[in-house]
Every structure is written in structure tokens, then in C-alpha cells.
């Protein structure tokens, strides 16, 4: 098949700059650069003119008496259209397929332009026929508008994952949906839910977790929030996308069990539990086929097995590989323009495609538009609905709920944290991230906030004249700087990664070169902690870093991810105890990178193994530096008892819910928000298993000295494994040990479930 790919005149970097999942948004205002100077200025509630997209029929299109394939509504289509007359919608679609010309159909299957139209990515519609099309915008951490527009920069998804609170993430989804609509868009290209296989992945910050159960719960919360406001959420990138530098060519190989149990369940969950509207195919190959050409992935699994009724959109510019191979595999929409789908007429002429192939794709896209009411919605712009006080307050709340306290040593008679203003004279602030707007990658997920509260800003605001905050900007400490550090009441070093270290390939830094801090920052931490025993390190990064070479000398250690535009206030809130630390790691922090599976971002073919993250470490009896699910608070908690509603279950009833009640006591003097976690181990299994798999978690708030219960639930089907002989998920009839505790390494409570 002839492809347009060789005829693209733009270099890869230029194409990447136009890529909707790869679009450069402006850095914070301090170093903002002008983008898209020709775009018109926006006014409040400016109505969008969708009639601007025109279609011209070929002479052969008219008077042809075409009859589309009959379509009978199903329970799956009715579920997808929940709250609307699904049967009437399907009948309407059939009539449109009969009336639309081949030229019009082709026009509906691709984006309108290589660049943004009215600051959003436009997929064609036909307003005269009630077909609205799609208006898309990026958004894993906020609405990725272009300057001079502004939007709320929330903490990155990985930090939000550290909240372990799907209900909080649902509120974030609602806020992002409101800002999406205010920018004139109806589709949010989020959430990113690719498993964190290795923390060197450049886009680790955009996803939630290294674990499928945790990932699925957070994704469900986000999608529910987004779609509660009528915005279509897009699950991306489907599937096995976790390398940046070779993302356009790498062939990811894995066995079916690894695919079905590790890399896909969270996608299925977001579809089944949250009715996710759309899915974006990934750039990479999976088992020899580009994901947009992978029929097993897009049709056999996504649609035939899972019953997905929405549409599949390509990743931008270089995400489509031919017209016929992609469309017959299950791709519906090429974005941002028909670079490959322009070959549809030639493919029909040579018999590689039929008009009914187009009809199937168009039916799915029209179903999404009609079921979500896009045809009846007046789209307007309302910039006053972005960066509202409510949204900025939520961004701060999410950051403070997500920051993870990893270490808090006693110096003198008490732990270093929380800091008490009355005991402070001078706080010295150091580190490469202390006074920069460090809110994450500047690729497609970038959000141009009006202002960013840095860690230094937050500490100065907290001081309120009660103590001095001294900033030492240089990492090279002279004698005077060392003396200042020595005399300080406390030292706060804010370090870690910047956008120059990790991010989306093509536009940003790509994959991280290593998990180590910059050499000069290690020297800085060691020098400061040698001078002052009250040295606190705050790490900002997309995911895990190595801390073992230097953390023994610091009194307190926190991971703050990329905390968003209100992150500096949130960091100060945690350091000074205005909020109890309740963040828990959504990934493992290994002692050294060599403890993790290999990360190969140079080869054209890689193999993914069944075990990664905490499951990999436990299988090899390698202790992590900080465990998956780990986090401290300023109080202490005891896990005292566990009980099950039933100690037996039937494998023939996979929808039945298993519930564990866990008794937890706060033995400290401060209130605590505890995340109880339930892991499953299998004894006597006939197949290789991970030592432990997270299967449920729940948060409880406990007053000082009080005892409460956490109820942890999962469906019996969540115990299923993929039987490669039977080619289906099966629940093994055996004995399962349920283990509850505060993280993947500490699970003191045990109960037994027998499945017959």
C-alpha cells in the first residue's frame, strides 16, 4: 500500500510540534515564548463557528441509492448511551449513513488541519446534518491551551496518584472538564493510563501508577469527573506505551498473559466502570504490528471482548500507518489531518476497503457525538472559568494531599517535622528546584499557568515575618554559605528533576538518562546535611529517583512530584503541619536502578516481562528503599484485625464481591488519613504468580487515639489470570491469602479465602 509518509516535507521535530498529544504549550510566564501569533484573540463567550468546515461532493457521489449495513442496537450500545434513547440514536445514524456521500464520510474520518483551529484540534462535522464533529484539547494535568490563554496547572497525574483517592481525582476531572468547555473543546485527551514499567520513562509524570489496580481506580475517578460535565474523556495510549525515545518505531513484545494481566486491565476498568468515551491508539508496535494496525488490540479485545462502543482516535501526525490496515484493524479517526486516510479512495478502488468499513467507523464516532449530546450543544468560550479561585484551591488541596513523607528523623527530643514557627529564627532554602516554576514537562501536557508558586514562595508566605527565609541560589557553597547553613534553624533543599531532564520525546528531554540526582545536587545535599542536622530534602520529579547514595544524612525527606501552580504553598503546608501528610507512593523507589527491570530506549525491539515494579522486587527478594504504597504521617497507626464476609467463594460467580474489614487504630496525638491496602498472595498455584498483588484499598480518617474500620472490596473476577490454552481469563480454584497493611512490604494482617 502506498503511504503518504515519505511525502511529508516537515522534519520529525516540526511534526512533533504540531502533535495533539505532543503539542508544545508555553512554559510559565517568566520565560514564555509566543506561539501561534496568527491566532485571533479570544473574547468571553465567543461563539464557535463550526459551519466553517465545508465538504464538496464528487460527481459520482450523488443519486447512488446506497443502502448501509443493517444495525441492531445491543445492550452494550444502550449502556454506552446511558440516559439517552440509544435505539433512536442508532436509527438516526443509519439514516445518516444512507444519506452521506463517500466524500462526506471520508471528511468525517480525519482532523481538519495539521495545526490547531481556533486553538483546539478540530475533527470535521457537518452542522447542517446535526453532526458536530469533535473539538479536542490535551489535558493530563490541566487544559493545554496556548498562550496568551491560561489554565489551571494541577499537579501531574503521578503526584495525584499518590493521593490514592479516586474521589479527589473525580473532582479534578470535573474541574478540567469545566476548563475544557471554557476553551471551546468537547473532548479531553486524557487520562494517560500507561503502566509505569520503569521510572526513566520520560512521560512517567503523566500516568498514575506502576500497578493496574491502583491505576484503574484513579482512572475511573477521573473519567467519571470529566464525563459528568458532558466532556468526552480519552484513554491513552493503547497500549504498552512506556518508552519515549523510540516510541515511533519500537516493537514491544510480551506474552498474552502479561498483556492481559498487567498492561490492559485498567483500560478495561475505565471502560466498564466509567463508560470512557474514546480511546487513543499508541505510536509503538505491539507484537510486530503498529497499535493502530493491531486488530487484536482494537477490535478483538477492545470491542469484541470488552464491548467498547466508542471511537478510537490515532495519536497525532505519525500515529497512523496506512488507511486500509488501520481502518480494518479498528481505527476510526486520524488526527490531526488525513496524512494517511487521504488514501481511502485508492484503497476502495483496489478493494482493500469498502464503504461499509467506513460506515463502521463513522457509526462509532456519531454514536459518541449523539450519546454525549454534542449535536445539541452550543460551544462557547468562557476564559473566566479557568484558574478560578475554586480550581486553584483544589490544585493546592490535591498537592498537599499527595505529597509523600518518606523520612522524618528525631533530632534532639522531637521529629524534625512538622516545623514550628515559634522555634525558628532562620530557614535556609537551597536546591535547583527551589525557585523555579517546576510544574512538569513542556510537551503536550504543558499548561501555561498565569503564575506558579515556587517552594521558595511558599516558605516565604508561611514565614509571615515570624522567621527569616534565606535563599542561597548557588549549588557551589562557599565558606559564608556554609556558615549560614550551619547557623540555620532548619535547611530545606528542593531538588530533583526539571523539564530539561525528562519529558515527551521530540518536544522535550525524552527519557531520563538515569535515576540519579544531578551530581552537583548530591554534593549540595551532602554538604548541607553535614553542616546542619535539621536538613530537609524535597524531591520534585516525574517518578522515582535514587536516594540511597545521599539520604542517610538528611533528617527528613519528601517526594512532591511536579506539584502544580500552587505547589509551593502545598509544600509549606506539609512542612509546617498545616495538613497531615497522607500521600503514599504510587511506585517503588529502589535502592539502585540495577534492582529494576532493564530499561532499553535505544533498541527497535524490546520484551516486557510479567513482573515489574514492587512485584519484580518481591519476586527477587530485593528490598526497596521505599515501598510501593509507602508514606509516613505525623502520627502512628496500628493494624489490629482483619475479617472477611465469607472465607469461601465460587469461581462460577465472578461478579460476587469479596469484602475485608480491617481494624485500624491511631496511636498518635494527631489525626491521620490512612490508606489501608489489601494484597493477594496465592498458595498452591499451578502457574507463576507475583508474591503479592494489590487488589483493593480504602482511606479512613482517624482521630487521635481512636479506632476505625476500613472496608476493602474487590470482585472475585479480579483474581482471574489469563489461560493461554483456553485463551480467556479464568479464576483458579485454590487458596488465596489476603494480606492487609500500610504498604506492599508491610502487610501484618492475614486472612484466607478459598475459591472452589
Are the C-beta atoms of residues 321 and 292 closer than 8 Å to each other?
yes
Strand 693-702 relative to strand 672-683, pairing: antiparallel
Grid coordinates representing 422 are: 515559634
One-character DSSP codes across 540-560: E-SS----TTTGGG-SEEEE-
- CB crowding 291-313: b at 16 or more within 10 Å, else e: bbbbebbbbebbbeebbbbbbbb
What gap in Å lies between CA 364 and CA 266, rounded to an integer?
A: 22
From the list 196, 239, 42, 111, the residue with the least C-alpha distance to 542 is: 196
The secondary structure of residue 496, as a DSSP letter, is E
Q: Which residues contact 633 (CB under 8 A, 6 or more apart)?
A: 405, 580, 581, 582, 668, 670, 672, 673, 674
* C-alpha cell, 661: 474489614
Strands 410-411 and 414-415: antiparallel
744 burial (CB, 10 Å; 0-12 / 13-18 / 19+) is buried
Residues 6+ positions from 14 with CB-CB distance below 8 Å: none
CA–CA gap between residue 204 and residue 545 (Å, rounded) = 12
Torsion region of 562: left, alpha or beta (phi above 0 gives left; psi -120 to 50 gives alpha): beta
CB 160 within 8 A of CB 401: no
CA-nearest of 510, 564, 265 to 395 is 564
Of 248, 363, 217, 356, residue with least CA distance to 699: 217
SS3 percent helix, strand, coil of the chain, rounded to 5, is 30, 20, 50
CA distance 309 to 79: 9
The SS3 call for residue 403 is coil
Q: In what order do the strands lie in the sheet with 232-238?
A: 121-123, 134-138, 187-189, 232-238, 278-281, 311-313
Please check whether residue 587 is in contact with residue 594, taking contact to mean a CB–CB distance below 8 angstroms. Answer: no
Reference 508, options 48, 24, 5; nearest CA is 24
Among the listed residues 292, 315, 573, 718, the single catalytic one is: 315
Quick check: 481 and 525 in contact, CB under 8 A? no
Rounded to whole angstroms, the Cα distance separating 569 from 584 reads: 19
Please list the alpha-helical segments (H only) found in 109-232: 157-161, 166-182, 212-227
Q: Which of 548, 527, 420 is nearest to 481 (CA)?
A: 527
Contact residues for 175 (Cβ-Cβ < 8 A; gap 6+): 152, 154, 225, 390, 391, 394
d(CA 309, CA 361): 11
DSSP state of 566: T
Q: Is 315 a catalytic residue?
A: yes
How many angstroms separate the CA atoms of 21 and 541, rounded? Answer: 21
Q: Tell me the three cell numbers of residue 113.
A: 488541519
- Decide: 709 and 665 in contact? Cβ < 8 Å: no
Alpha-carbon span 98 to 179, nearest angstrom: 37
Per the DSSP assignment, residues forming a β-bridge with 496 are: 540
Helix and strand tally (H, E) in the chain?
Answer: 19, 30
Closest CA to 747 of 653, 648, 642: 642
Q: Which residues are catalytic?
A: 315
Amino acid at each position: 500500500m502506498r503511504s503518504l509518509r515519505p511525502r511529508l516535507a516537515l522534519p520529525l521535530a516540526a511534526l512533533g510540534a504540531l502533535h495533539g498529544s505532543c503539542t508544545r504549550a508555553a512554559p510559565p510566564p517568566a520565560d514564555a515564548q509566543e506561539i501561534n501569533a496568527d491566532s485571533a484573540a479570544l473574547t468571553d463567550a465567543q461563539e464557535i463557528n463550526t459551519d466553517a468546515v465545508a465538504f464538496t461532493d464528487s460527481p459520482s457521489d450523488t443519486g447512488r441509492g446506497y443502502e448501509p449495513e443493517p444495525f441492531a442496537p445491543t445492550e452494550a450500545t444502550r449502556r454506552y448511551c446511558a440516559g439517552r434513547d440509544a435505539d433512536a440514536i442508532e436509527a438516526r445514524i443509519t439514516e445518516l449513513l444512507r444519506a452521506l456521500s463517500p466524500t462526506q464520510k471520508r471528511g468525517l474520518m480525519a482532523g481538519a488541519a495539521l495545526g490547531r483551529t481556533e486553538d483546539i484540534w478540530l475533527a470535521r462535522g457537518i452542522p447542517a446534518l446535526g453532526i458536530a464533529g469533535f473539538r479536542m484539547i490535551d489535558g493530563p494535568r490541566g487544559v493545554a491551551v496556548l498562550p496568551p490563554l491560561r489554565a489551571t496547572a494541577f499537579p501531574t497525574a503521578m503526584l495525584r496518584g499518590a493521593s490514592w483517592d479516586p474521589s479527589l481525582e473525580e473532582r479534578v476531572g470535573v474541574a478540567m472538564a469545566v476548563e475544557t468547555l471554557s476553551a471551546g473543546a468537547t473532548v479531553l485527551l486524557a487520562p494517560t493510563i500507561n503502566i509505569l514499567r520503569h521510572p526513566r520513562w520520560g512521560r512517567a509524570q503523566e500516568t498514575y501508577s506502576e500497578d493496574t489496580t491502583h491505576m484503574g481506580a484513579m482512572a475511573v475517578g477521573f473519567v467519571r469527573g470529566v464525563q459528568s460535565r458532558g466532556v468526552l474523556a480519552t484513554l491513552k495510549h493503547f497500549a504498552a506505551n512506556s518508552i519515549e525515545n523510540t516510541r515511533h518505531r519500537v516493537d514491544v513484545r510480551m506474552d498474552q498473559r502479561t498483556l492481559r494481566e498487567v498492561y490492559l486491565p485498567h483500560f478495561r476498568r475505565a471502560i466498564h466502570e466509567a463508560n470512557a468515551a474514546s480511546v487513543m491508539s499508541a505510536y509503538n508496535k505491539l507484537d510486530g504490528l503498529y497499535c493502530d494496525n493491531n486488530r487484536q488490540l482494537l477490535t478483538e479485545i477492545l470491542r469484541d471482548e470488552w464491548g467498547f462502543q466508542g471511537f478510537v482516535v490515532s495519536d497525532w501526525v505519525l500515529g497512523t500507518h496506512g488507511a486500509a490496515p488501520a481502518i480494518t484493524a479498528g481505527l476510526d479517526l486520524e488526527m490531526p489531518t488525513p496524512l494517511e486516510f487521504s488514501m481511502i479512495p485508492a484503497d476502495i478502488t483496489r478493494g482493500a476497503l469498502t464503504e461499509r468499513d467506513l460506515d463502521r467507523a463513522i457509526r462509532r464516532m456519531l454514536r459518541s457525538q449523539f450519546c454525549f449530546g454534542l449535536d445539541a450543544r452550543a460551544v462557547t468560550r468562557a476564559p473566566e472559568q479557568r484558574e478560578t479561585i475554586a480550581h486553584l484551591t483544589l490544585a493546592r488541596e490535591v498537592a498537599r494531599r499527595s505529597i509523600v513523607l518518606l523520612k522524618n528523623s528525631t533530632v534532639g527530643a522531637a521529629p524534625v517535622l512538622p516545623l514550628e514557627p515559634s522555634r525558628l529564627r532562620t530557614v535556609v532554602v537551597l536546591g535547583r528546584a527551589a525557585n523555579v516554576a517546576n510544574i512538569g514537562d513542556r510537551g503536550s501536557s504543558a499548561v501555561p499557568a498565569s503564575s506558579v508558586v515556587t517552594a521558595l514562595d511558599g516558605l516565604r508566605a508561611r514565614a509571615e515575618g515570624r522567621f527569616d527565609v534565606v535563599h542561597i541560589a548557588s549549588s557551589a557553597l562557599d565558606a559564608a554559605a556554609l556558615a549560614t547553613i550551619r547557623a540555620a534553624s532548619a535547611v530545606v533543599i528542593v531538588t530533583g528533576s526539571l523539564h530539561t531532564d525528562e519529558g515527551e520525546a521530540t518536544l522535550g528531554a525524552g527519557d531520563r538518562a538515569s535515576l540519579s540526582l544531578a551530581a552537583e545536587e548530591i554534593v549540595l545535599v551532602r554538604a548541607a546535611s553535614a553542616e546542619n542536622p535539621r536538613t530537609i530534602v524535597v524531591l520534585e520529579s516525574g517518578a522515582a529517583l535514587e536516594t540511597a547514595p545521599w539520604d542517610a544524612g538528611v533528617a527528613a525527606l519528601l517526594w512532591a512530584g511536579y506539584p502544580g501552580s500552587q505547589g509551593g504553598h502545598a509544600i509549606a503546608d506539609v512542612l509546617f503541619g498545616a495538613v497531615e501528610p497522607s500521600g503514599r507512593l504510587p511506585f517503588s523507589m529502589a535502592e539502585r536502578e540495577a534492582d529494576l527491570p532493564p530499561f532499553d530506549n535505544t533498541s527497535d525491539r524490546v520484551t516486557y516481562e510479567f513482573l515489574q515494579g514492587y512485584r519484580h522486587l518481591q519476586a527477587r527478594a530485593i528490598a526497596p528503599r521505599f515501598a510501593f504504597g509507602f508514606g509516613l504521617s505525623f502520627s502512628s497507626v496500628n493494624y489490629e484485625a482483619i475479617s472477611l464476609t465469607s472465607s469461601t467463594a465460587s469461581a462460577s460467580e465472578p461478579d460476587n464481591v469479596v469484602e475485608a474489614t480491617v481494624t485500624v487504630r491511631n496511636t498518635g496525638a494527631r489525626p491521620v488519613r490512612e490508606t489501608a491496602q489489601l494484597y493477594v498472595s496465592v498458595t498452591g498455584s499451578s502457574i507463576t504468580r507475583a508474591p503479592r498483588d494489590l487488589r483493593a484499598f480504602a482511606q479512613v480518617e482517624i482521630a487521635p487515639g481512636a479506632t476505625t474500620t476500613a472496608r476493602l472490596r474487590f470482585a472475585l473476577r479480579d483474581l482471574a489470570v489469563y489461560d493461554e490454552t483456553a485463551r480467556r481469563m479464568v479464576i483458579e480454584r485454590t487458596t488465596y491469602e489476603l494480606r492487609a497493611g500500610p504498604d506492599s512490604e508491610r502487610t501484618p494482617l492475614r486472612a484466607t479465602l478459598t475459591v472452589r
